[in-house]
A = this chain, B = another copy of it.
Amino acid sequence: MRSGAATADDPGSFDDRTAKARIRDAAIECFAEEGIADTTARKVAAAAGVSPGLVIHHFGSMEGLRIACDEHVAAAIRRIKESAMASGPGLDVFGMMRDTNIGSAARYLARVLAEDSHTVETLVDDLIDDAERYFEQGVESGMLLPSNDPRGRAVVLVLWSLGGLVLHDHFKRLLGVDLTDPDLSTSPNLMAYMGPAYEILGSGIFTESLASHLQSAVTEADETDRERPPSAQSKQKGTR
C-alpha cells in the first residue's frame, strides 16, 4: 500500500504507518476525542480509511485495540519522560509530558485514567516511581523539603496532577488553561494554573500555627490506632 515498506507490524522500523499503525493512531485520536464508550469500530475504520473488518482483523477485537492503544501511548509517554528527565531538572509532573509533540496522548490518557487498564496502572506506577526518585534527588540537592512519607508524597502529588489532567475540561472552563494542549508551555493563560500550583507547592496553604496543630493531631492519630482523625468535629451519628 504505502512505500516499499516490508512486512506489516515491525516496531522500530522506518515506516510505521502501515494500515495497522494507521488504525491504531486513528483509534487513539478517536478514543481521545470522542471518549472510550463512543468510539466504535466503524468510526475508527472510517478515520483510518479502511473497512471495519480490517480493524478486527488486525487487533482481534475492540478490546484488543484498546490494549494496543494503551501500550502505544504508554510507550510514547515513557519515551518522552526519559528524554525529559535526561534533559535536566523540572518540577511539575506535567512537565514530563509537555514541550513535545505528544499528539493526542495527553487527551487519551485523560480518558483512560479512570477506566481500569493494567497497562495504565503500570504506567501510573512508573510515573510515581520516577517522581519519587526525582523528589529524592531534589531533597538531596536541597531543592525540595524532605518528607515523612516520600512514597506517599509522590503518590499524592502525581495523582493530584493526573486527576487534574482528567478534569482538564473544568480547568479549561475555569482558568482558560487546557492541560492537554500539546504545547501547553506557550499557552497565554498557563500562569492561571501554574501560579496557584507553585504557590501551593511552594509554601503550602496552612499558617505555621495551624500546620503544627494539624501535624500534632496527625501524629497523635498515627500513634493511637483508634483515634479520631484530625478533621475535628465529626458529628456523632448515633448508631455505628
Residues in chain A within 8 A of chain B (CB atoms) = 36-37, 87-92, 95, 98-99, 101, 110-111, 113-114, 116, 121, 124-125, 128, 135, 142-145, 147-149, 152-153, 155-157, 159-167, 169-171, 173-175, 185, 188, 190-207, 209-211, 214-215, 218, 221-222, 225-226, 228-235, 237-238, 240
Give Cα distance in the complex from A163 to B37, angstroms: 20
The reply to whether B235 and A87 form a contact with Cβ atoms under 8 Å apart is yes
The reply to whether A210 and B166 form a contact with Cβ atoms under 8 Å apart is no
Give Cα distance in the complex from A3 to B170, angstroms: 38
* Chain B residues with CB below 8 A from A210, complex form: 91, 142-144
The reply to whether B215 and A202 form a contact with Cβ atoms under 8 Å apart is yes
* Chain B residues with CB below 8 A from A143, complex form: 206-207, 209-210
With most chain B CB atoms within 10 A of its CB, the pick from A36, A144, A164, A195 is A195
* Chain B residues with CB below 8 A from A209, complex form: 142-143
Copies of this chain, how many? 2
Describe A's contact surface by its main secondary structure.
helix
* Chain B residues with CB below 8 A from A165, complex form: 163
Q: A142-B207, A167-B113, A167-B162 are in contact. Are A157 and B200 (CB under 8 A)?
A: yes
Give Cα distance in the complex from A238 to B214, angstroms: 20
The reply to whether B195 and A206 form a contact with Cβ atoms under 8 Å apart is no
The answer, among B157, B199, B205, for a CB contact under 8 Å with A149, is B199
With most chain B CB atoms within 10 A of its CB, the pick from A111, A157, A206, A238 is A206
The reply to whether A238 and B203 form a contact with Cβ atoms under 8 Å apart is yes
Chain B's nearest CB lies how many Å from the CB of A152? 4
Give Cα distance in the complex from A52 to B142, angstroms: 63
The answer, among B99, B185, B199, for a CB contact under 8 Å with A147, is B199
Give Cα distance in the complex from A88 to B232, angstroms: 9
Give Cα distance in the complex from A37 to B39, angstroms: 12
* Chain B residues with CB below 8 A from A135, complex form: 205
The reply to whether B205 and A90 form a contact with Cβ atoms under 8 Å apart is no
Q: Chain B: which residue is nearest A99 at the CB level?
A: B234
Chain B's nearest CB lies how many Å from the CB of A98? 8
* Chain B residues with CB below 8 A from A202, complex form: 204, 206, 211, 214-215
